[in-house]
């Protein structure tokens, strides 16, 4: 069994982004192979904290917790970097680009796919 979580929401926009992270962390805590892909506005969850305003309890910081629980690498669609005018240097360490074809392959291989 393997779980694939697709994160489509920005951090802090609503509780759905945080709840999705909680579900993925729970999956990993029970040793279920877990993968995470951040697409669309969800890529902003992978931005590195930018200063004192960010604390561990803020959603911007929580995506990094996935790495602590063994969910790595954290995937994102490469095309979203251009779409949101981001550079890969702005993303958390361990963020890895995917093509749409790669994502399709991951979805086909996963036992359970959840999109938030």
Q: What is the pLDDT of residue 61?
A: 54
What's 23's domain CATH number?
A: 3.40.1260.10
pTM, two decimals, is: 0.88
One pLDDT digit (tens) per residue for the chain, 116 residues: 899 999 999 987 778 888 999 999 999 999 999 999 999 999 999 999 876 444 455 554 578 889 989 999 999 999 999 999 999 899 998 899 999 999 999 999 999 999 99
Q: Is the dihedral of CA 89, 94, 95, 99 positive or negative?
A: positive
Q: Which domain holds residue 38?
A: 3-115
**Number of domains making up the chain:** 1
User: Which among 66, 62, 65, 60 has a CA at the least distance from the CA of 47?
Assistant: 60
């Amino acid at each position: 069994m393997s779980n694939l979580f697709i994160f489509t929401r920005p951090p802090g926009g609503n509780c759905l982004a945080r709840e999705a992270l909680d579900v993925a962390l729970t999956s990993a805590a029970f040793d279920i192979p877990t993968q995470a892909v951040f697409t669309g506005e969800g890529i902003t969850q992978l931005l590195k904290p930018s200063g004192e305003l960010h604390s561990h309890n803020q959603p911007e910081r929580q995506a990094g917790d996935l790495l602590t629980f063994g969910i790595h690498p954290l995937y994102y669609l490469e095309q979203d970097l251009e779409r949101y005018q981001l550079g890969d240097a702005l993303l958390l360490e361990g963020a890895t680009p995917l093509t749409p074809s790669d994502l399709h392959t991951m979805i086909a291989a996963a036992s359970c796919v959840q999109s938030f």
